[in-house]
Amino acid sequence: MTSPVSVVTGGAGFLGSNLCDRLLAEGHRVICIDNLITGSADNIVHLLGNQRFTFVQYDVTNYVTVEGHVDFVWHFASPASPLDYLKYPIQTLKVGSLGTHKTLGLAKAKNARYLLASTSETYGDPLVHPQPESYWGNVNPVGPRGVYDEAKRFAEAMTMAYHRYHQVETRIVRIFNTYGERMRLVDGRAIPAFMTQALRNEDVTVFGDGSQTRSVCYVTDLIDGIFRLMMSNEVLPVNIGNPDEVTMRQLAEEIVELAKSKSKIVYRPLPQDDPKVRQPDITRAKNILGWEPSVSRAEGLKLTERYFRGKLKL
């Protein structure tokens, strides 16, 4: 029996590389495409000797062609942290629009099933809490975060258009805050920032008064939910994330304690359009996919702290 063939764009990134691991474990042949603008070859170096793994350095905003049969296309290419998409605003918009168009074209040409990695940022600074998939969002299209939020909203619309007009089999996952191994030390997101600062005994920087919330999901749980979604028959968006909501202040305190750090928590002004709350309603994922997270925050943070400690050579 031949192995299923998966194309993973953004496959050298934090989530993409963890997805490549899961697909190889499931017996897939994996073609990983990444232009390494925010991804890192370090994330996939352990896979380079695997005969079922191929890495191609390429920008998927250009025409995408792959030789031979393809069963699945997983579109994960995009800057994903505020630091990245504020640094690369045009590239972020292009990979969400042109990159989605080109990868959907590949799926159509190969008669492959397609999954779009969308985001909870499509909900913006939400006026509905927790956020169900039926909520249309509260996004500022001309604010600094709009380059990411609107790129993903457009990508969802493009994906549904290919499904309806070209009958491409499509899936859309709305990813909520995720953490774990292979996050970069300087990423701009809360957990890497808090971890790095706490492990170095530097001041831990919390934006606003720390009362804003996030719901953080450990990476293996997230990848499991995404894999289940691709293998399901669900066409409409599905939230994947951990509904265990925590304030930024509490998260910083937990990380300082875990790291046995001497760090003090300090507060800085909240960035423009930063969401005040974020919590997924995962009812659809439970009902359709039989999925819910299994790794507790305490357990996931412990694994992540060990990874960061190793990266910092402490």
Say if CB 232 and CB 124 are below 8 A apart: no
Residue 75, token pair as written in the block: 């579109």
Cα–Cα distance between 29 and 52 in angstroms, integer? 5
Active site (annotated) includes residue 148: yes
Candidates 85, 148, 162, 179; catalytic one: 148
Cα–Cα distance between 100 and 151 in angstroms, integer? 10
Residues recognised as catalytic: 148
